[in-house]
Chain A
């Protein structure tokens, strides 16, 4: 099934989006943030927290901020401290956490020496992490191939141990990807909680230790079912870059990554979160991790029929922003949803056309299709009907990743049986309608084609307007979901800084990356991925 869409118009949309993204890029390139710096410290191996349970990476950055020297970047000061004291990064961070080391008072080493040392540490970190990633890919390839579309379900009990039990059940029931929803408002925290957590609201805290536990459980489930089960979490929020780094460290496959969600729905400062997003995407791209964007949320508060073009507008922009961060299209999972009022005539046809349009506009993207949520009520039986129709659209239009709707969407985060029922429906539809898209054609001049053309024309118009105003101004004037956000308003702006003269971040250095890649390619990399249970974990917090 193909929609007749004018390629010239599509090309123009891409050009406009590239110019919008370029404008953003010019402004954010000279900037970094506290969250980006903390992610660098995590990547070179710093973990844990001090006696007052403040994560060491926060202690480190806070000390630099307090002394007004953060503009040189965390890695500059870390490398200087290593050269001056001969200690390891972790050792230094622990002393900073215990307030027994003043980074700025240490004798300053020659700049050359600092830079060289820093490159060395970063290259070692890259070799380890790229090697880990490669072993994970090898494991994935050793298992049977997954059928498309991937069925993605969420767990959200608040307790990582319960999440694991439910995730394992979901894997057995046929899920291809399991996402742990974060506890409400974690995106507003300017630190990542440490350790294993068992108390969360509407979700479970994203922490390194929780990631590790879930990873172990899913690897075990993958081997048992001879089907690779992907691990998903969310990194949007004030710690976007840092959670992306944890995702890389712990071997996650997919991260939900979208600054727009934070700006519009959590009132995060736009510049802060765009800088964080850029570095997080750079990292995820480097480690060949998939991102998924949050366009489905854009139409949760507006007229989803009339204003659907906002989804396409955001997808075009998101695609360019991710490409600017070095990601390849195959890893940019653009999100979308229809959220149409079921009272609308021909809502099924409209949803089908919209889904097909997205598929055609972004043919290489592992697009992620989101289920109806808004018009679900406590009538779980009707909700199940809506979801089954949604599954049909997803299979018919060959979406890459399908987030399964739950009959109890309007009531609570899913129970174990809710997930079973949705997987049962999706598996049935995938089996029953797998070839539909190849067999059925839409009328070339029918309603569907007309809707697609109208949507594309509106998208082009909006992109033209945003390209004229620039993204920041458009966000300020309410171009997205009628929500207005000021450029310097919102949370986290005080965590943005202009990179100084000595600023160092060799993760961005092409030569360092190339050398690390070469080393990994040469090595045979012995050893498989560690099995769960072998890892010692600290006690529960939060």
Chain B
């Protein structure tokens, strides 16, 4: 929208209509009462002009609702504090150049999917030469040496590899996050690296489609990457952070 104003509202059809679409199930069978219950939930969420457009019985005492409503909530998007900074991306040549001539070293990256997680596609997308979304992975950069431990690596194996390979960066992937399955592994790894005195010499980075970067930082990581991450974004951050640390 071209109009300049500090506050924004959800948009459906007209500016400031506040249109919100909502769906959820209730653990009760469909009835006149359950419909009203669904509408009241929408009301309690702060919606106005609530329209219940579909109400379906799911069987065995469950029902499903689709609603529309309007919100009066307004947000000043400029005032939002971002934990994930949108940093400018460097390019392939610039990254190699900075590592070779400024940092003056070949950077060793140890990567793994830890715990019992067997999802490798995400980390491979970042590390393997083939890369992701048309971009080469870190293996293709002459200035990166990549050691990919693959799936299901226990945290102590990652620690051992980091020590043996004299890693500058450790990249870990966690994809299964249901019921916070990943958090224990992530904090364990961070603690182990700390206890073994390796932590301060390393960049510790995690990634995965459902990683909350705030939480990752809290359990001791330097950075976290979410869905759609490209190898370039990771390489850029590594260069920037290593240069900053070297100063």
Residues of A within 8 A of B (CB): 158, 165, 168-173, 184-185, 188, 199, 201-202, 265-267, 300-301, 377-378, 410, 412-413, 415-417, 420
- Residue pair A173, B59 in contact (C-beta under 8 Å): yes
Contact of A267 among B25, B152, B179 (CB under 8 A): B152
Contacts of A301 in B (CB 8 A): 120-121, 124
Give the CA-CA distance A172 to B61 in the complex, in Å.
Answer: 10
Identity of the chain B residue whose Cβ is nearest the Cβ of A202 in the assembled complex: B178
- A201-B176, A410-B209, A415-B25 as given contacts; A169 in contact with B59, CB under 8 Å: yes
Identity of the chain B residue whose Cβ is nearest the Cβ of A374 in the assembled complex: B121
- A265-B118, A416-B62, A417-B25 as given contacts; A378 in contact with B227, CB under 8 Å: yes
Interface residue tally for chain B (C-beta within 8 Å) = 24
Give the CA-CA distance A173 to B62 in the complex, in Å.
Answer: 11
Give the CA-CA distance A413 to B210 in the complex, in Å.
Answer: 13
**Nearest CB of chain B from residue A517's CB, rounded to whole Å:** 39
Identity of the chain B residue whose Cβ is nearest the Cβ of A264 in the assembled complex: B118
- Residue pair A413, B64 in contact (C-beta under 8 Å): no
**Nearest CB of chain A from residue B208's CB, rounded to whole Å:** 12
Contacts of B151 in A (CB 8 A): 265, 267
Contact of B116 among A169, A171, A188, A417 (CB under 8 A): A188
B40 in the interface, Cβ–Cβ < 8 Å?
no
Give the CA-CA distance A417 to B26 in the complex, in Å.
Answer: 10
Q: Could you list 15 A-B pairs, sorted by A, with CB under 8 Å?
A: A165-B61, A165-B62, A168-B59, A168-B60, A169-B62, A172-B59, A202-B178, A265-B151, A410-B209, A412-B178, A415-B25, A416-B58, A416-B64, A417-B24, A420-B58
Contacts of A173 in B (CB 8 A): 58-59
- Residue pair B62, A201 in contact (C-beta under 8 Å): no
Interface majority SS (helix, strand, loop, mixed), chain B? mixed
B56 in the interface, Cβ–Cβ < 8 Å?
yes
- Residue pair B181, A184 in contact (C-beta under 8 Å): yes
**Nearest CB of chain B from residue A491's CB, rounded to whole Å:** 9
Q: What 20 new A-B contacts, CB under 8 Å, besides A201-B179, A266-B118?
A: A165-B62, A168-B59, A169-B58, A169-B59, A170-B59, A172-B58, A173-B59, A184-B178, A201-B176, A202-B178, A265-B118, A265-B151, A267-B152, A301-B120, A301-B121, A413-B178, A416-B25, A416-B58, A416-B62, A417-B25
- Residue pair A417, B60 in contact (C-beta under 8 Å): no
Contact of B152 among A266, A377, A413 (CB under 8 A): A266
- Residue pair B152, A417 in contact (C-beta under 8 Å): no
- A184-B181, A201-B181, A266-B118 as given contacts; A420 in contact with B56, CB under 8 Å: yes
Contacts of B209 in A (CB 8 A): 410
B31 in the interface, Cβ–Cβ < 8 Å?
no
